[in-house]
Amino acid sequence: MAVKVLGISASPRANSNTDLLLQKALAGAECEGASVKYIRLCDLNIAPCIECNSCFKTGECATKDDYQLLMEKMLDADRLIFATPIFFMAVCSQAKVLIDRCQCLWAHKHVLKKPLITAGRDRRAMVIAVGGSKSKKMFDCVRLTMTYYFDVLDMSYSANLFVNKMEEPGQIKNHPTALKEAFRLGAELITTPSPPEKPLDIELT
Ligand SMILES: Cc1cc2nc3c(=O)[nH]c(=O)nc-3n(C[C@H](O)[C@H](O)[C@H](O)COP(=O)(O)O)c2cc1C
């Protein structure tokens, strides 16, 4: 059976740097025989979590929108590649809305004490993030948020591809190595026999 890879693109703009990197990472995975799905959050209607806490009783989110469809895809995937621009030193709001809605998965596991994923599955995740400034501090927040998000999804946090000093749409195409690195990391998500102890970090300028 082919490894199932889900790519989630959170950038709201066309010709997005993170989206271009994501496409390359997915191409790398596909080259290694993976079956690949791609989703742009901007094409979906996902409302923010309102902390009604009904998921504490049911394990399900009471807000019904496109989240449920995406949740099924996230739970079904063997690999997740999540791409987000840096907005105000953090993931963009489109990404955060989705992550917050995963509170129902947290409740399912930690309040209702029910397993989310069949035991023994090899699930791994990778992050792609791009910022406009020269600071690299902006990736600290991404690391922390993604650690908790992937933990809720029962996925091993396997790799980061972070690029700074990219402001214009499509500018990443002029970077000497970033797209190649994305392709390589996407392929390695499939070919590496087991997830690394800690995420492999690629930070490019
Ligand atoms: C609302 C907003 C906030 C931003 N905040 C930051 C920031 O805190 N640090 C930074 O380096 N770049 C920041 N940027 C720049 C984007 O991260 C940068 O343009 C990036 O290339 C966007 O990625 P994309 O093309 O995939 O959307 C911000 C851009 C916007 C629109």
- The residue whose CA has the least distance to atom 15 of ligand 1 is 132
The answer, yes or no, to whether any atom of ligand 1 lies below 6 A from the CB of 20, is no
Q: Is the pLDDT of residue 95 over 90?
A: yes
Ligand 1 closest atom vs CA 167: 19
Span 175-189, pLDDT tens digits: 999 999 999 999 999
Q: Is the pLDDT of residue 12 over 90?
A: yes
Look over the chain and give the mean of its residue pLDDT values, rounded to a whole number: 97
- Greatest alpha-carbon pair distance for the chain in Å reads 51
Closest listed residue to residue 130, CA positions, set 6, 5, 15, 11:
11
With tokens 């029962």, the residue in question is: 154
Distance 92 CA to ligand 1 centre (A): 8
The answer, yes or no, to whether any atom of ligand 1 lies below 6 A from the CB of 133, is yes
DSSP state of 48: P
Ligand 1 closest atom vs CA 89: 8
pLDDT at 87: 98
Span 120-149, pLDDT tens digits: 999 999 999 999 999 989 999 999 999 999
DSSP state of 102: T
Q: What is the pTM of this model?
A: 0.98
Span 58-77, pLDDT tens digits: 999 999 999 999 999 999 99
The answer, yes or no, to whether any atom of ligand 1 lies below 6 A from the CB of 131, is yes
Closest listed residue to residue 67, CA positions, set 42, 46, 41:
46
CA distance 12 to 47: 15
